[in-house]
Structure 1
C-alpha cells in the first residue's frame, strides 16, 4: 500500500528529486511537450480499454493509472519550475467551478436534500 501524500508533500518530494541533478527542471516548452506526450500515452490506454483499438501482442502492459501518474509528475515539475502551488491553484479552481457551475448539472435527489 502506498502512502497518501498531500499535494504540498508531492511537490516537495519532486523538487528534492529534481534538485539532485545539475540539469534541474526542463524549460517550460520542453515540459509542455512532455505533458503532451504523456496525454497521448493516456489517450492510447483509454482507446485500448474503451475504444476499438486492441493492444498488439508486442505492446507493453501500461495502465491508465500509470499514465495518470506520469502526467501528475510532469504537472508537478511544471508547477515547481514556475513556483506555483498546486494546492492553491486547485483551491481557486474548485471554488470557481463550485460557484459558476453549481446549477449547471442535474443533482441527484439525495444530494439536493443535503444542500438545502
Structure 2
C-alpha cells in the first residue's frame, strides 16, 4: 500500500475530518489520555515479545510495532486536535529545547561518522 507522505498538519486535518463525521466528536482529554496509555501498553507488549523474554502465545493475534505506533499516533493526534494544539509547532518547540538545552549532553560523532551512516 503505497501512499504519499503526509505532513503532520495533513494528518491532523485528516483525523479531524474523520472524527468530525460523528456526533460524539473527540473524547474528553482524560479519556484520550487513558486511550493513549492503553495503546502504549500494547506497544510495550509488542516490544517485549520482540526484544524481551516473553514470547507470544500461539493463540495471540499477530500485531506489529508499526501498527501499535500508528494507533498511538492516531490517539495523540486526536488528543492534540481536541485541545487545538498544532503538533508541528509542538515538535519545533521540543526540538529547539533539545538543540539548546541538551546540545552538549551527549558525545557527538565526528563529521565523517555522520556522513558514513547516512549513506
- TM-score computed with the length of structure 2 as normaliser: 0.92
The RMSD of aligned alpha carbons is: 1.6
1:55–1:109: structure 2 CA closer, same or farther, 3 Å change rule?
A: same
Name the counterpart of 1:74.
Answer: 75
CA distance in 1 between counterparts of 2:52 and 2:73 reads 24
Structure 2 residues without counterparts, runs of 5 or longer: none
Aligned twin of 1:86: 87
**Equivalent residue of 2:13, what SS?**
helix
Structure 1 residues 2-31: Cα deviation after superposition (integer angstroms, max 9, x where no partner): 221000000000000000000000011100
Q: Which residue of 2 aligns with 1:39?
A: 40
The alignment covers a number of residue pairs equal to: 114
Any gaps of 5 or more consecutive residues in structure 1?
A: none
TM-score normalized by the length of structure 1: 0.94
Change (3 A) 1:109 1:12: same
